[in-house]
Amino acid sequence: MVKAVVLGAAGGIGQPLSLLLKSNPAVTELGLYDIVNAPGVAVDLSHIATPAKVQGYLPPDDGLKKVLTGADVVVIPAGIPRKPGMTRDDLFKINAGIVRDLATGIATTAPKAFVLVISNPVNSTVPIVAEVFKKHGVFDPKRIFGVTTLDVVRASTFVSEVLGDLSLTTSVTVPVVGGHSGVTIVPLLSQSSHPLPSGLQQSTVDDLINRIQFGGDEVVKAKDGAGSATLSMAYAGAEFAGKVIRALKGEKGIVAPTYVNLAADKVGGEALKKELGKDLEYFSAPVELGPNGVEKINGLGKITPAETVLVKAALPDLATNIEKGVTFVQVPK
């Protein structure tokens, strides 16, 4: 029995993500919560002939408490998206408070649930969830994840495009590490399951890296004020949630890049910090998942000198973003 909950379920990501979770036969109960329209979305989805029992809640009458009761996996896509010209960090002002309040609900009602954070800026919202859990004495770093899967999905697609064969997209895997914004997104192309041709022009490789790092901007620009990636994000969120659920049910050997607190695996986390040459608290690394969440944090592996430069370039922004999230909860204004 697995109860999955979506907080922000009526939104651009929330609706298709809820659809995909309803389509996952491993989900037996699906709880939807939003400040608008969640009961309507729930009734709509409830007609789909898959096992999950769906229920939707609004804030009145303890809706948040009700939806979170018995939750195993909570996915959070609640919050505002970017418009052209904005950075993800520009969303902090509004989204930090939304995530803090939802995290408070989870910490008090479902402290053992796995929390999958989609709301931006992920580099800061994950530390916010962790700090709220610490305040409530229920922090377990193994159970809180920043969802960076869209970067991995984009890397598979864009690499396949460069290889000239889109049919490869489902088999191409490229680890993407660091964080989830601009230069903190670091694709390790040298570890692609399908290597790039050796004769490829450097400018093509540079463009590919840039496209993976700024893929979000491509969508924001194309939507022209109507928001950011929703459908591809729902796909990515369902992929990652699906992996977490399979691991929860005992499947072994599932590895996925995700932004975690490096204390989640002390040995792996410390080794990674040494590789980075910086005492960062959070980093997106390939993580082995298990029934208790983070089983093992893998290191960067063998990377090229050019990739070392990209990793180093990610560190200052990451440190600033993490500090901003931590301070928001520790020193409330």
Which residues here bind ligand NAD, judged by CB under 6 A?
Answer: 7-8, 10-14, 33-36, 77-82, 91, 95, 98, 102, 118-120, 122, 147, 150, 180, 227-230, 233
Tokens 């002939």 correspond to what residue? 49
**Binding of ligand LMR at residue 143 (CB under 6 A)?**
no
31 is in an annotated binding site: no
With CA atoms as reference, report the closest residue to 107 among 126, 146, 134. 134
119 labelled as ligand-binding? yes
Give me the residue label for tokens 């950011």. 228
Question: Of the two residues 18 and 149, which places its CB atom closer to ligand LMR in the complex?
Answer: 149
Site string for ligand LMR, 241-280 (x = CB under 6 A): ----------------------------------------
Among 127, 105, 84, smallest CA distance to 221 is for: 84
**DSSP3 helix / strand / coil % (the chain, rounded to 5):** 50, 15, 35
Shortest CB 107 distance to ligand NAD, Å: 15
| One residue of 88, 142, 211, 243 binding ligand LMR per CB under 6 A | 88
Q: Which is nearer to ligand NAD, 104 or 292 (CB)?
A: 104
Parallel/antiparallel/unpaired status of strands 3-7 and 29-33:
parallel
- To the question of whether residue 11 is assigned a binding role by annotation, the answer is yes
Q: Give the DSSP H or E segment for 246.
A: helix 231-248
CA-closest candidate to residue 69, choices 161, 5, 123: 5
Beta bridge partners of 261: 282
> Binding of ligand LMR at residue 216 (CB under 6 A)?
yes
Residue 187: strand, helix, or coil: strand
Q: Is 47 a catalytic residue?
A: no
Min dist CB 267 to ligand NAD, Å, is: 28
Q: Name the residue nearer to ligand NAD (CB basis): 31 or 81.
A: 81
- Report how far residue 117's alpha carbon sits from residue 141's, in angstroms, rounded to the nearest whole number: 13
Residues 4-33 that bind ligand LMR (CB under 6 A): none
93 or 302: CB nearest ligand NAD: 93
Whole-Å CA distances, 183 to 15, 168, 216, 297, 317? 29, 26, 12, 22, 8
51-78 CB burial, b ≥16 within 10 A, e <16: ebebbbbbeeeebbeebbeebbbbbbbb
Number of neighbours of residue 124 by Cβ within 10 angstroms: 30
Beta bridge partners of 287: 256, 297
Active-site option among 47, 136, 180, 194: 180
In the list ligand LMR, ligand NAD, none, the entry touching 13 (Cβ below 5 to 8 angstroms by class) is: ligand NAD
Cβ proximity to ligand LMR, 153 vs 280, nearer residue = 153
Binding residue per annotation — 88?
yes
Min CB(220)–ligand LMR separation in Å: 5
The answer to whether 219 contacts ligand LMR (rule: CB under 6 A) is yes
Q: Is 82 in the site for ligand LMR (CB under 6 A)?
A: yes
Is 143 among the annotated ligand-binding positions? no
- Residue 191 tokens, joined: 């570890």
Residue list for the binding site: 8-14, 34, 82, 88, 95, 118-120, 154, 233
Residue list for the binding site for substrate: 82, 88, 120, 154
Residues taking part in catalysis: 180
Residue list for the binding site for NAD(+): 8-14, 34, 95, 118-120, 233
